[in-house]
Amino acid sequence: MSPLAIFHRLAHDTYSSLLLSMVPLSLFPSDKCSILLVIYDFNALFNLDFVVNVFSSVERPNLLSFSVLKLGVLSFTSSLKSQVRSFKASTSEDTITRISLWWEQARAVVAVPVFKFLVALCLIMSVMLFVEMMYMGLVVAYIKLFKRKPEKVYKWEAMEEDDVECGSESFPMVLVQIPMYNEKEVCEQSIAAACKISWPSNRIIIQVLDDSTDPASKELVKKECERWSKEGVNITFEIRDNRKGYKAGALREGMKHSYVKQCDYVAIFDADFQPEPDFLFRTVPFLIHNPKLALVQGRWEFVNAGQCMMTRLQEMSLSYHFMVEQQVGSSTFAFFGFNGTAGVWRISALNESGGWNDQTTVEDMDLAVRATLRGWKLLYLDDLKVKSELPCSFNALRSQQHRWTCGPANLFRKMAGKIIRSENVSLWKKLYMLYSFFFMRKLVAHVLSFCFYCVILPATVLFPEVTVPKWAAFYLPSLITLLIALGRLRSIHLLAFWVLFENAMSLVRTKALVMGLFETGRVQEWVVTEKLGDGLKTKLIAQAPEEHHVRFRDRVHLLELLVGAYLLFCGWYDIIYGKQTLFLYLLFQSMGFFVVGFGYVGKYVAASSS
């Protein structure tokens, strides 16, 4: 029944009951009846139960009249309540029907077309990423097959190591910089490794740049420098009053000292890096014999890769980065992103490019781009390995990944125009820098991992009208994963865990990417990655019984839990209503997000005193 008909019937029943009840009211005095009628009519609109109660205050001439009147009122109130309930039920059903119709129209006209567009966009990005990775795979295969080693591409002559003890003046002057910040766990081994580098003692300067705010760390670094100085090593201990510019600021201040003017090259090692004694003998000759070469970069090797599952998975990703991405950039266009450590710069190229920029969290990549725009070339040596340490704390990894994603995105925003306008870079090199290096690897790869595999693909179970081809949902991701696994074959049995972990980490990276592109939030935040050094195993064993004291709220990450709940809902929806087998992936991926969201990944160690 329509609402209009209900109102018509409601009015009819109201006045019918009122006329019926007015017969016994004539037995009452006129003033009482008028009061009763007013109350009666008022309660017909607002409070029906009050009508019956009013009779207790009305003077009744006889019981029969009152009973008749009471029956009339009760008949009226019962009829009115019944009509109101019918009206409410009809209105509620009508509202639900209207909402349902509105949603179906909006779904057909807006939601489904938009969703189809997003799926198509993700499919295009998937193909683009696959083509990019196939291209890099072919380049690496060509390098390996035809043995295109850097020694054959660039001029290179071995330096006579016999001249080291003689202090030959033919050796160029090299500065070794070691920036530190509260690094008491690793300072001794990193300083020792730098001091043991094979090079004439009068042709090398070890410069320790200590920004520590922890007095114990600063004192330990100072004593270690004094100890090596007494053994005849040319080592300096430099501090400053503030941490302006963080690592970039420390490196820039270190280059201002007067003794640096006599140096030709500068090698940089983070506090957890341990170069081999022959590091300079394998890198400096390239710089000596190739005047347009600005940088020689080595590969990272991880001493704690087997510490836990999280470090093993990190090793897989970083091994692909070095073995494929860095090698392809170096071999094809002599450009790649400097990794900030384990590299040697020509000081003249560094100064010509503007020196260290502290207005970015990726000062290393920023310098590499600016040097390339000046016409300088960069060289990566895949067989030159330098020992380093992976973060085994999940919070440390999150901070590191945030910086490594936010920084390049922000750098792309700032440098894209300069790359396009540069006159020292060829058109193909510009295309490589903008498309392959920045757009595909720093933007598309992160967006696709999260938006497609963690948001859009799961939502297809809610939109049966939208289908994702099997080649995009399964075959392409599988091939891409296998290509990445080639970087570390000994961990190929962990491939499924790597996929789940990388997708879970893609949330952090996508959030950081948005911050970097739009310069919001923590775009300039610098958090030093926690390092544990040689005492790693002892420290973890000693603190294992105390791990349960870690506060629960410090482990929980709400966004990861929300995405996990979304994937779990989509998985169960697919089981109940769907006709696909996507629920297998959705349920496992939701578990991955829950594990990460509750912080049950990596190792938890007590924070340092800093």
Q: Residue 529: its pLDDT value, please?
A: 64
- What pTM value is reported for the model? 0.80
**pLDDT-wise least confident of 364-368, 391-395, 533-537:** 533-537
Q: Tell me which of 69 and 377 has the higher pLDDT.
A: 377
Res 395 pLDDT > 80: yes
Distances 174 to 201, 262, 472, 555 between C-alpha atoms, Å? 10, 9, 51, 44
Res 60 pLDDT > 60: no
**Contact, 594 vs 500, CB < 8 A?**
no
Distance CA 433, CA 439 (A): 8
Give me the mean pLDDT over the 303-316 stretch: 92
**pLDDT-wise least confident of 404-413, 502-511, 551-560:** 551-560
Q: What is the DSSP letter of 274?
A: B
Q: Residue 104: its pLDDT value, please?
A: 84
Give me the mean pLDDT over the 212-221 stretch: 91
Q: What value does the mean pLDDT of the chain take?
A: 83
Give me the mean pLDDT over the 198-204 stretch: 92
Res 29 pLDDT > 50: no
Residue 369: pLDDT band (50, 70, 90) is: very high
Res 247 pLDDT > 60: yes
Q: Residue 145: its pLDDT value, please?
A: 92
**pLDDT-wise least confident of 119-128, 262-271, 435-444, 471-480:** 471-480
Q: Which residues are catalytic?
A: 211, 364
Query: Coil, strand, or helix at residue 29?
Result: coil
Q: Residue 544: its pLDDT value, please?
A: 37
Distance CA 222, CA 434 (A): 44
> Residue type at 280?
L
Closest CA to 331 of 383, 376, 380, 296: 380
Distance CA 124, CA 265 (A): 45
Q: Residue 167: its pLDDT value, please?
A: 53
Contacts 24+ apart (CB under 8 A), 491-494: 491/312, 491/313, 491/315, 491/316, 494/309, 494/312, 494/313, 494/316
Tell me which range, 73-77, 267-271, 540-544, is most confidently predicted by mean pLDDT.
267-271
Report the share of the chain in percent with pLDDT over 70. Answer: 78
Query: Coil, strand, or helix at residue 545?
Result: helix
Report the share of the chain in percent with pLDDT over 90. Answer: 60
Residue 110: pLDDT band (50, 70, 90) is: confident
88 sits in which H/E element = helix 63-106
Res 558 pLDDT > 70: yes
Distance CA 398, CA 379 (A): 29
Distance CA 354, CA 415 (A): 14
Closest CA to 452 of 402, 507, 406: 507
Residue 607: pLDDT band (50, 70, 90) is: very low
Q: Residue 242: its pLDDT value, please?
A: 86
**pLDDT-wise least confident of 178-182, 265-269, 373-377, 464-468:** 464-468
Give me the mean pLDDT over the 484-498 stretch: 86
Closest CA to 127 of 370, 446, 444: 444
Distances 53 to 19, 23, 57, 59, 155 between C-alpha atoms, Å? 20, 19, 8, 13, 108
Residue 51: pLDDT band (50, 70, 90) is: very low
Distance CA 275, CA 199 (A): 13
**pLDDT-wise least confident of 140-149, 421-430, 546-555:** 546-555
Res 545 pLDDT > 70: no
Distance CA 392, CA 310 (A): 7
